[in-house]
Amino acid sequence: MRPGGLATGMAGGLAGMGGIQKEETMQSLNDPLAIYLDRVRSLKTDNHKLKSKIWEHLEKKGPQVKDWTHYFKTIEDLRAQIFTNTVDNACTILQIDNVSLAADDFAVKYERELAVCQSMENNIHGLCKAIDDTNVTWLQLETEIEALKEELLFMNKNHKEEVKGL
């Protein structure tokens, strides 16, 4: 796996969600990981060199030196496990950071949706008030129409009586 490969792939996927700031965050996470992995490789190389020097020294010193080779396999296995666990931990930390960024995005989206929802509720409340006002006006107009109809009937009745009277 190349240094920063996992995080670079994730950063590309997150670029659409959050933009340049998230890419910068991902890059700032990838750089220390790459430096750390390079340092581990360097230490591993140094270890092999040191191991060679120890063997040379043991060969020069002669047969009174004890044979420690059976421990070297165990040590190498443990180093491999440490390296694997370190990489796994770094991936886990990266995933935690990604989840944190996603949670922040959802919080922003929630705030926007809440603002839109409150705006719509205010609009609905305003429309309900307008409907109530319209209904009140409607009732007033119906009352006026009834009053005008009664007045018209009264005027027709009076007109007929006046016509009869003439």
Number of domains in the chain: 1
Q: What's the whole-model pTM score?
A: 0.39
CA distances to 22, 24, 153, 161, 165 from 158, rounded to whole Å, are 87, 92, 8, 5, 10
CA distances to 66, 80, 114 from 107, rounded to whole Å, are 64, 41, 10
pLDDT, position 130? 96
- DSSP state letters, 46-101: HHHHHHHHHHHHHHHH-TTS---HHHHHHHHHHHHHHHHHHHHHHHHHHHHHHHHH
Separation CA 108–CA 124 (nearest Å): 24
Query: What's the average pLDDT block by block, 10 residues per block, for the chain (166 residues)?
Result: 47 54 79 89 94 86 70 93 97 96 96 96 96 96 96 94 88
pLDDT, position 57? 83
* Structural domain containing residue 50: 5-165
pLDDT, position 22? 78
For residue 26, how many other CB atoms are within 10 A of its CB?
25
